[in-house]
Amino acid sequence: MGFGLGKYLTALAVLTSSTLAADWYAKDVRQGGHDPSMIRTEDGYVLMSTNNMLLMWNSENMVNWKNYGQVLKSVPQWMDGISAKDNNGVMQKVGNLWAPDIFEINGKYGVFYTGSSVFGKNFSAIGVAKNSTMSGSGWTDVGEIVRSTDKNNYNAIDADVVKTTEGEYWMAFGSFWDGIRLIKLDPNTMLQSASDKTVYKIASRGGKGIEGPALIEHNGQYFLFTAWDTCCKQGNEIEQTTYKTAVGRADKVNGTYYDRSGKKLNDGGGTILMERYSRYVGPGGGEPFKDLNRIRFVHHYYDLTGDKYNHIHIRD
Q: Which residues of 89-123 form beta strands (DSSP E)? A: 91-92, 98-105, 108-116
CA distance 30 to 58: 14
217 is catalytic: no
Are residues 284 and 36 in contact, defined by beta-carbon separation less than 8 angstroms? no
141 is annotated as an active-site residue: no
Catalytic residue, from 101, 211, 259, 287: name it.
211
Going from the C-alpha of 39 to that of each of 22, 225, 244, 267, the distances in angstroms are 22, 17, 23, 32
Distance CA 228, CA 130 (A): 30
Which one of the listed residues 35, 144, 178, 259 is annotated catalytic?
A: 35
Please name which of 56, 65, 77 lies closest in space to residue 138, comparing C-alpha atoms: 56
Measured distance CA(316)–CA(289) in Å, rounded: 10
Which residues have a catalytic role annotated? 35, 211
